[in-house]
Amino acid sequence: MNARRSRSPGGLEREVIACLAAAGDPRTASEVQAELGDGLAYNTVLTALSRLYVKGVLQRSPRGRAFAYRLAGGGAVDAEAAVTAHRMRMLLEAGKDRTSVLARFVGSLDEETEILLRALLDESERQDKP
């Protein structure tokens, strides 16, 4: 029987982000694997690190025959936001009718979040104009 605990979707990515944030300096996949424990396979940790790198959440640099990974940008909170935003984008792209998906999403927002979304869209539009 498998003694490993099951993780929620994205749970391992969050654990990797927390591990790298706590470490403070770059870590290789084997170092992250050792710090996370829990019987994780090396390839599982390497896959999580690689996916976070592709998403722009991590930066990497060569260290011997491996890569050492560190958080990109604004730390753990920014990394978590980048992962969540990536998931949201993937879900939106998976829908057959983007307009309906967005309409339902916006319609489900509370007033405070809707105001925040409008402000972020306005700011993005201002930045795009020359």
- List per-residue pLDDT tens for the chain, 130 residues long: 344 556 666 789 889 998 998 888 999 999 999 999 878 999 999 999 999 999 888 999 999 999 999 998 777 777 778 778 877 888 888 888 989 988 999 999 999 999 999 999 988 888 877 6
Predicted local confidence at residue 113, as pLDDT: 92
Predicted pLDDT of residue 63? 96
Contact 19, 32 (CB under 8 A): yes
Instruction: Give me the pLDDT at residue 8, please.
Output: 65
Q: What confidence score (pLDDT) does residue 1 get?
A: 39
Question: By C-alpha distance, which of 100, 76, 105 is closest to 88?
Answer: 105
Domains of the chain, CATH where assigned: 1-94 (1.10.10.10)
CB distance 30 to 66 below 8 Å:
yes
Q: Strand order in 66-71's β-sheet?
A: 27-28, 66-71, 58-63
